[in-house]
Amino acid sequence: MENNYNPIISVRRDFDLENIFYNLATNEAVIKDPDLKKIYSYLRTEVVPGSLLSLGAGPTHLHYVIPVIDLITCVTALDLSKKNIEVIKEFFRYIGSLKKSEEFKSDIIKNTDIQILQCLADFYCKIKKRGSGKGLLLKLLEKSQYHDKADLIIGDMHDFSLMGERKFNNILLGFSLYVNSEDQLLKFFQHAKGHLNPGGKILLIDFDKFSNDDINGEFLEDDDVIRKCPDSLDFSLEMLLNVLGQVGFKEKNISTKTIPVLTDGLEKERGYEYFFATIKN
């Protein structure tokens, strides 16, 4: 069956030149999007030193780890969609070309996609008043290696055998926890708990409701994902807290934030309510 999903479209929807650009007068990197700024500041505040595993990392994986790369030691990305992982690999190939000062050509990503990634990296160096965007991207590539290969896993996040014996300091779930039942949600957190190092955290960011309509409609996904999760559950905060309690997590800090509508922001048509959950053993 043909799979028409094109991940670069999701990247360009969430990271666009209207919101991420260089100020023409000063040449400084600017991020205008309030959603992204809130997500970045949450990540920088909550991430603990050590490793980070991003589950359902998506084609935007690098875009989300840029702000924390100086705070962590290594990063692993897992996604069910081979096409998403290919996009991440293509960005890695671009970063690798920086090291060798080679010309970069790609059928998957365009110059504007590269400019946005570079701008995010430059923005973070500006905030930290240290380093260069290029240096940060090279660090990102360096910290994304495992046994001398890019630490990218294609597979189902509910299958924790993919991680072997590996444990992590941070497990990030950015808009990616799709489950078919409450029981699957419970099992997921039981496994995730077992793959956290002492003091480790699960960082969960999502809209306060994630419905099946969203998977099939506005937030288009790879057919492989839709097949795996045909009846994606709208899990409420209450259900999440109940499950986390059953699994035995001691700390569950959950905050919600509605980020208002902007006429030219990410949320072009409506404001979204987000929840940010930090879960600890």
Ligand X SMILES: C[S@@+](CC[C@H](N)C(=O)[O-])C[C@H]1O[C@@H](n2cnc3c(N)ncnc32)[C@H](O)[C@@H]1O
Q: Smallest gap, in angstroms, from Cβ of residue 177 to ligand X?
A: 8
Q: Do 258 and 280 form a contact (C-beta atoms < 8 A)?
A: no
Q: In the stretch 201-230, what mask flags binding to ligand X with x, by CB under 6 A? A: ------------------x-xx--x--xx-
Question: Is residue 169 within the footprint of ligand X (CB under 6 A)?
Answer: no
Applying CB under 6 A, does 46 fall inside the site for ligand X? Answer: no
82 or 99: whose CB is closer to ligand X?
Answer: 82
The least distance separating ligand X from the CB of residue 87, rounded to whole angstroms, comes to 10
Q: What phi, psi does 234 have (nearest 5°)? A: -80, 90
Helix axes of 182-194 and 237-247: crossing angle, nearest 10 degrees: 50
φ and ψ of 23, to 5 deg: -65, 125
Greatest C-alpha distance within the chain: 55
Q: Considering only the stretches 74-82, 120-128, 185-193, 240-248, report the one whose residues sit in contact with ligand X under the rule CB under 6 A.
A: 74-82
Contact status: 276 vs ligand X (CB under 6 A): no
Per 3-state DSSP, what percentage of the chain is helix, strand, and coil (rounded to 5)? 40, 20, 40
Reported as half-sphere exposure (CB side, CA atoms, 13 A), residue 24 has a value of 1
Does 146 contact ligand X by CB under 6 A? Answer: no
The residue within the footprint of ligand X, chosen from 19, 51, 76, 84 (CB under 6 A), is 84
Alpha-carbon 137 to chain mean position: 16
Exposure string over 147-165, b if 16+ CB within 10 A, otherwise e: eeebbbbbebbbebeebee
Based on the shown chain and the rule CB under 6 A, indicate whether residue 174 belongs to the binding site for ligand X. Answer: yes
Of the candidate residues 29, 33, 58, 152, the single one contacting ligand X (CB under 6 A): 58
Return the number of the residue (148 or 269) whose C-beta is nearest ligand X.
269
Work out whether 81 is an interface residue with ligand X (CB under 6 A): yes
Binding residues for ligand X, per CB under 6 A? 14, 56-58, 60, 64, 78-81, 84, 156-158, 174-176, 178, 219, 221-222, 225, 228-229
